[in-house]
Structure 1
């Protein structure tokens, strides 16, 4: 089992941070590993929406589809993928950290199978480092 939790405080209102972070079209701007996003269902984002991502991780090209399983506007987003050797769930939450500040958490959980199970011990620290970097980039973009 991989369970990676990262968080940051962004000096912007929660509604603004959540709106930017939940828009898949913004993902390549703040996720360094994501190179493209393709909507498989009509916009806007809702429970059941499916979005395909292309990314680089550990030197490999990864193509995967997330399905939105929970969306509480301005508070929480949960998306899951069951395809490939590493089913993953990604959860974002936003809470007020002051009158115009937001604490954002990014949590990735997954249950690797086969060879990926052996790689899980190596993957978690790399995912944690990538998530920290991505949240720093998101913070930089939104506070600019």
Structure 2
């Protein structure tokens, strides 16, 4: 069984504003569930953050510390940030997308992944936890933006 979870939320701000915060790895620990640290460990080929850049995250999930590296596969500000895990406990594909909406921005997070090792045993619990986490991520993203952070 693989995981494929999508959550979305309308945030009452323009896409450029929402994406500027959400697509900046320096804010990952502020609004993403379980993330304790995030560090740019490889710059994009042209420098800075973009396609080819890698962010190393330390998180806690289901009571376990996990360290993983996400490589940027697609970057189209302010619409899309698509990342693939290149190191970590399980294969993962994370996509953030932002589109204009009459009330602001539809912010969407999709997490896809396979299970291996410990995660293979977690089965349906893992899918429920991921679904809950990405929903909370979007709620926290909206709250952070409303606070002006």
TM over 0.5: yes
Residue number among 84, 88, 107 corresponding to 2:92 in the alignment = 88
Structure 1 consecutive aligned stretches of length 4 or more whose deviation exceeds 4 Å:
none
Q: How many residues align?
A: 143
* Paired residues of 2:51 and 2:74 also in contact (CA < 8 A): yes
Q: Which residue pairs with 1:119 in the alignment?
A: 122
- Unpaired runs of 5+ residues, structure 1, are none
Instruction: Measure the CA separation in 2 of the matches of 1:73 and 1:131.
Output: 21
Q: Greater CA deviation, 17-26 or 116-125? A: 116-125
Q: Which residue pairs with 1:12 in the alignment?
A: 13
Q: CA offsets, 1:31-60, max 9 Å, x none?
A: 131111111123631100011001111000
Q: CA offsets, 1:51-88, max 9 Å, x none?
A: 10011110001111100001111111100103233110
Q: Work out whether 1:63 is the aligned partner of 2:92.
A: no
For the aligned residue pairs, the C-alpha RMSD in angstroms reads: 1.4
Q: Which residue pairs with 1:21 in the alignment?
A: 22
Instruction: Measure the CA separation in 1 of the matches of 2:66 and 2:78.
Output: 29
Instruction: Measure the CA separation in 1 of the matches of 2:118 and 2:60.
Output: 19
Instruction: Measure the CA separation in 1 of the matches of 2:53 and 2:125.
Output: 31
Q: Work out whether 1:79 is the aligned partner of 2:53.
A: no
- Unpaired runs of 5+ residues, structure 2, are none
Q: Greater CA deviation, 83-92 or 6-15? A: 83-92
Instruction: Measure the CA separation in 1 of the matches of 2:116 and 2:31.
Output: 29
Alpha-carbon shift at residue 115 of structure 1 (Å): 4.4
Q: TM-score, length-normalised on structure 2?
A: 0.90
